[in-house]
Amino acid sequence: MNENLFASFIAPTILGLPAAVLIILFPPLLIPTSKYLINNRLITTQQWLIKLTSKQMMTMHNTKGRTWSLMLVSLIIFIATTNLLGLLPYSFTPTTQLSMNLAMAIPLWAGAVITGFRSKIKNALAHFLPQGTPTPLIPMLVIIETISLLIQPMALAVRLTANITAGHLLMHLIGSATLAMSTINLPSTLIIFTILILLTILEIAVALIQAYVFTLLVSLYLHDNT
C-alpha cells in the first residue's frame, strides 16, 4: 500500500486556504442549548456532567482560583469534543498538532504562573528552593526547578499530542491490516476487526481522559499559584 501513514495529520486546506480554523470553531456548534424553562434529557445530562466536572476540579481551589472555573470547563469541553470528532472517518483532529496544543498550554500556564507571582510572590519563589536544602546545592536546585517550571507547558502539549497521535496511528494500521486480510483469510479478518472495534472503544475513552488530564494539570498549576 502506497498510502501515506501520516496523511491524516496534515492540516486540511480549502481552495489553498487553511481550514483548521473552521474545524476548531466547529465543535462549539455541537453543544446544545435550551431556551425553555424545562430542559430535555440531553441538556439535563450535559449540565449534570458539567457540574460534576467543575466540582471535581474546583474543590481544591480558593475563591481566587475558582474564578477560572468557566475557562477550565470550556477547555475540557473543547478538547473532548475535538478529540471525539477526530475519531470519525476522513476527519481531522486539531489536537494532533503540537503547535495548537502549545497555543493552549502556554497561555494557561503563563496565566497561572503570573497569578502566583502577583498574589503570592514569596510562595512562588519558595518553589525554586525546597526548605532545608544544603548550601552547596542551592545554585543547582534553583536551575533544576527553573527548568522544571519552564517545561511544564511543553509537557502538557506533548502528552496530549503523543497520546492522540499514537491512537490514530494504531487504528490506521489495524484498519489497513483488516482491509488487506479480508481477501486472504476471513477468520483472521474477523479477529483483527474485533480488535479494531475494541481499540476504537479504547480511543473514545482516551479522548475523554486526555481532555480531563490536560485540564486537571492546568488546574493543579493554578492551585499551586493561588
Q: Which of 101, 116, 100 is nearest to 149 (CA)?
A: 116
Residues 6+ apart with CB under 8 A from 130: 141
pLDDT at 3: 55
Domain enclosing residue 8, as ranges: 1-225
> In total, how many domains does the chain have?
1
**Using the 8-state DSSP alphabet, how is residue 36 labeled?**
S
- Ranges of the chain with pLDDT below 50: 1-2
Cα 33 to Cα 18: distance, rounded to the nearest angstrom = 29
pLDDT at 18: 67
192 neighbors 181 (Cβ within 8 angstroms):
yes
DSSP H helical ranges for the chain: 20-25, 41-58, 69-85, 98-119, 121-126, 138-150, 152-181, 186-224
Q: Which three cell numbers stand for residue 206?
A: 482516551
117 neighbors 224 (Cβ within 8 angstroms):
no
pLDDT at 1: 45
- Nearest 5°: the CA angle 153, 57, 73 is 75
Cα 45 to Cα 24: distance, rounded to the nearest angstrom = 24
CB atoms within 10 A of CB 149: 15
Q: Which amino acid is at 193?
A: F
164 neighbors 105 (Cβ within 8 angstroms):
no
